[in-house]
Structure 1
Amino acid sequence: MKATIWHNPACGTSRKTLAILEETPHVELTVIEYLKSAYTRDKLAQIIADAGLTPKEALRLRGTDAEERGLDTADDATILDAMVDNPAYVNRPFVETDKGVRFCRPQEIVNEIL
């Protein structure tokens, strides 16, 4: 099974999710450190939608200036544009496999798509 994680090594939940993926047999893993390799707008919109979230639900407020910039009340297009410009606004981690996409908070949610 192929799996892709959009990973932030500074995030404990992201590290724990990555560990689950690495410990799962037969997983061909791709790790994207999204703060270094930013999302494309289309891919970000796709994984958020496939995870059953809205851009507002995927917006990271903690540790960012998103709220001060008014992103917490912005429309989806504005939020997506801001996330592409500054990937720190994207909450994490997201994982995609052939079985779907999950926002893995808590990390055990990843098991739903393994």
Structure 2
Amino acid sequence: MKATIWHNPKCGTSRKTLAILEETPGVEVTVIEYLKNPPSKAQLQALYARAGITAREALRSKEDAAKALLAANASEDQILDAMIADPILIERPLVETDKGARLCRPQEKVLEIL
């Protein structure tokens, strides 16, 4: 099985999710450091659709820019645009396999798509 993780190596949850993927037999992992190689808006929309979540639900709400977007009641499109402009606003880790996509918080959520 192939798995792609949109990863931030500075994030403990992201590192733990990556470890689960690497320790699971038969899983070929592709790691994308999304802060260095951010997804396109279309990729992000597709990932969120597969995960069954909205951009608002996947917004890293700890960031000041995210708080401002939420306070302004920004639209999904505005949130996606902000995520593309500043990828730190993307909550992580996002993992995609043939079985679907998940925002893996907590990291055990990755097991749903393995």
- Which band: TM-score by shorter chain? over 0.9
Which position in structure 1 is the counterpart of 2:42? 42
Structure 1, 93-102 or 56-65: larger mean CA deviation: 56-65
Is the contact made by 2:103 and 2:109 (CA closer than 8 Å) also made in structure 1? yes
1:6-65 Cα shifts (integer Å, max 9, x gaps): 000111000000000000011111000000001111000110111111110001121442
SS at match of 2:65: coil
Mapped to 2, the partners of 1:95 and 1:21 lie a distance apart of 9
Superposition map of 1:57-76 within 5 A: 57-68=57-68, 71-72=69-70, 73-76=73-76
1:56-88 Cα shifts (integer Å, max 9, x gaps): 0001121442213xx112000000001011110
Kindly tell me the number of residue pairs found equivalent between the two proteins: 112
Percent identity over the alignment? 62
Which position in structure 2 is the counterpart of 1:108? 108
Superposition map of 1:1-114 within 5 A: 1-68=1-68, 71-72=69-70, 73-114=73-114
1:73-107 Cα shifts (integer Å, max 9, x gaps): 20000000010111100101110000000110000
Mapped to 2, the partners of 1:49 and 1:60 lie a distance apart of 17
Extract structure 1 runs of 4+ deviating beyond 6 A: none
TM-score where L is the length of structure 2: 0.95
SS at match of 1:50: helix
Is the contact made by 1:6 and 1:94 (CA closer than 8 Å) also made in structure 2? yes
Q: CA RMSD in A?
A: 0.9
Is the contact made by 1:17 and 1:93 (CA closer than 8 Å) also made in structure 2? yes
Is the contact made by 1:64 and 1:88 (CA closer than 8 Å) also made in structure 2? no
Instruction: Give unmatched runs, 5+ long, in structure 1.
Output: none
Instruction: Give unmatched runs, 5+ long, in structure 2.
Output: none
